[in-house]
Chains A and B, each alone.
Chain A
Amino acid sequence: MADKGTGTADAVRPETPPGDGGAALVELRGAGKSYGNVRALHDVSLAVRPGRVTCVLGDNGAGKSTLIKIISGLHQHSEGELLVDGTAVRFSTPREALARGIATVYQDLATVPLMPVWRNFFLGSEMTRGPWPVRRLDIARMKRTADDELRNMGIVLDDLDRPIGTLSGGQRQSVAIARAVHFGARVLILDEPTAALGVKQSGVVLKYMAAARDRGLGVIFITHNPHHAYMVGDHFSVLRLGTLELSADRGEIGLEELTDHMAGGVELAALKHELAQVRGVDVQRLPEAEDLGSSAPASPEEAS
């Protein structure tokens, strides 16, 4: 399965990411967030650069949602800094984040199922023409623009008038991504876009994610699937219990190691010693703690 994953990865990602490096569009420096007594996120640093996919991995409750809520403006951080284009900011609404070019595509908050594709594409930012009392939708221009923009992303739909609910989950996500790109997003936050999708549909979404990256956007890909992350990711951050457990560039880490981290590798290694006391449990193939490159930042030498 892992082999298959990496095989597809080569097809999706180019050998050298286009906008490699460049100044960070969005950066977190030692950021954290507490809800009353609960510390949901602590001392997390993360940089999103143009033309690169930054993957944020973590189990349920690891703080992934809190992280994107800070960047997308739904919540404010209570420690550390959030920098956009190098200057510290503090968003109070998602609209402010959007105005700075930070768009979020939520897994379930993407589209209105019964409305046609083109109406969904422009929902909330409709094109109009004519003076006020007779100001009306510029339907022809909207349909044309939506079609062009979707084709630019490599999405070809036969009929933009059909309800978007009749498209597959992956296509809906793709339309939402194309919409964010069209409306000037420089940073695209994708919240578990592949979580509810089948293998084929996930591939479709990953492809458009790569297309957005190739257009020079900084992409933040939230997921708990290391295989999906490794297919498109340039940088991997693993969150555990609200802190950064691992932060590594693609060159520094392999898929297996990433998977081990995601599977709670450090905990599993500790568990291994306990399980070894119990008869009938095969512990030979579980990783040792020292195999896992302790904690962030992981060094590849240790792992190999």
Chain B
Amino acid sequence: MSTAGPAATAPPAPGPRTADGRTARRPLALRLLARPEVGVFLGAAAVFVFFLIAAPSVRSGGSMATVLYQSSTIGLMALPVALLMIGGEFDLSAGVAVITSALTASMLSYQLTVNVWAGVVVALVLSLAIGAFNGWMMVRTGLPSFLVTLGTFLILQGVNLAVTKLVTDNVATDDISDMDGFGQARKIFASSFDVGGVQVKITVVWWLVFAALATWVLLRTRYGNWVFAVGGDQDSARAVGVPVTFTKITLFMAVGFGAWFVGMHQLFSFNTVQSGEGVGQELIYIAAAVIGGCLLTGGHGSAIGPVFGAFMFGMVNQGIVYAGWNPDWFKAFLGVMLLGATLVNLWVRRTATRR
């Protein structure tokens, strides 16, 4: 404590400084390492290079597009999950909420025989409402978000299966591909476009657009400032006038929005929805956010880190297939990556914040 860095005024403190006292900036390398996305960027680059060497078929444009597509479906959800984590909370219901949203849009449109856009809008409202409910319950009861969203997770999982069975007498919804508005919705949520002879899925574009938007919001707006503050120290934030309740509830609603978007993608690319899916995905999203440099306890992280985190997941997932290995190894590989990334993050933060 006595070796404090920048001392206040006259009493000279140890360390290089001029009379101005402004020179003791930490070295560039240290300041770079303090950025949450640097560790994961190096990790993603390493995994990428590794598979370029180990699996020659990865080098084609087509397989790169597949890797990016795989990454985008994880990355689209990892973004809001990461923002929520920076805000200090979890959402364990994120995985099944995707399916809930898709089921709602699909069954509502089919059963009422209306334009699919009606189902899409109702699904959006429902997804936002689920997010708001999670946030409101957490704020009102003061329970940890882990518990509240574990409850929502189980509820949604049961409702998905039971209601689908009740309505369609099946475990999946009916094919809606011949309904009004399907083509239109598909263009937005699940189309592909041509880049130099390679078909790239539109979710890749959405993923990068949302990542840019999230980065801007996080670093350049008041709301972003509040997200860091409520995750870093909720009571201090409240004491200086940050609307903590509003910030937390809207973060949960952002996860709801993400779940809706990914749900719509799944519905319009596969035409039907399996009601039992989505379980376990929430942990993949959380892992991508953590690998992306977001602090599990909140208050630190970035939106661009989870982009690289999701890319690592997509790369490993597809890379194992291209390398011709047994895909059963995927989860084991992920576990090792997660631990490795956590250790790197820990080391980086200690080095960077040391006085």
Contact = CB atoms under 8 A, between A and B. Distances in A.
A159 B24 contact: yes
A163 interface: yes
A126 B222 contact: yes
A119 B300 contact: no
A110 B239 CA distance: 8
Contact of A123 (B22, B216, B235, B237): B237
B353 A163 contact: yes
Interface string A113-142: 111000100111110100000011101000
A158 B25 contact: yes
B221 A167 contact: no
A139 B222 CA distance: 11
A80 interface: no
Interface string A153-172: 01111110011011111110
Interface in B2-56: 2, 4-6, 8-9, 11, 17, 20-26
B22 A158 contact: yes
Contacts of A95: 241
Contact of B4 (A126, A156, A163, A171): A171
Given A125-B241, A162-B26, A111 B233 contact: yes
A241 B14 CA distance: 45
A198 B1 contact: yes
A166 B355 contact: yes
Report the interface size class on chain A: 35 or more
Given A163-B353, A168-B1, A198-B1, A174 B232 contact: no
B21 A158 contact: yes
A113 B237 CA distance: 11
A109 B236 contact: yes
A158 B23 contact: yes
Contacts of B236: 109-112
Interface in A233-285: none
Interface in A37-59: none
Contacts of B5: 158, 166-167
A106 B355 CA distance: 25
A13 B235 CA distance: 34
Contacts of A113: 232-233, 299
Contacts of A154: 8-9
A12 interface: no
Interface in B270-296: 295
Given A124-B241, A165-B353, A166-B355, A137 B225 contact: yes
A134 to B, nearest CB: 9
Interface in B220-260: 220-222, 224-225, 228-229, 232-233, 235-237, 239-242
A137 B222 CA distance: 6
Contact of A158 (B24, B224, B237, B353): B24
Contacts of A111: 233, 236
Nearest to A179: B240
A124 B226 CA distance: 8
B9 A156 contact: yes
A165 B220 CA distance: 21
A222 B31 CA distance: 38
A155 B17 CA distance: 15
B20 A156 contact: yes
A168 B6 CA distance: 9
Given A110-B236, A119-B228, A155 B241 contact: no
A94 B238 CA distance: 11
Nearest to A208: B8
A109 B233 CA distance: 9
B300 A114 contact: yes
A209 B24 CA distance: 26
Contacts of B216: 136
24 contacts: A109-B239, A110-B236, A112-B233, A113-B232, A113-B233, A115-B228, A115-B229, A123-B229, A124-B242, A125-B240, A128-B222, A136-B221, A137-B224, A156-B8, A156-B22, A158-B21, A158-B22, A159-B6, A159-B25, A162-B26, A166-B353, A167-B6, A171-B6, A208-B8
Interface of A: 94-95, 98, 106, 108-115, 119, 122-126, 128, 135-137, 139, 154-159, 162-163, 165-171, 174, 198, 200-201, 204, 207-208
Interface of B: 1-2, 4-6, 8-9, 11, 17, 20-26, 216, 220-222, 224-225, 228-229, 232-233, 235-237, 239-242, 295, 299-300, 353, 355
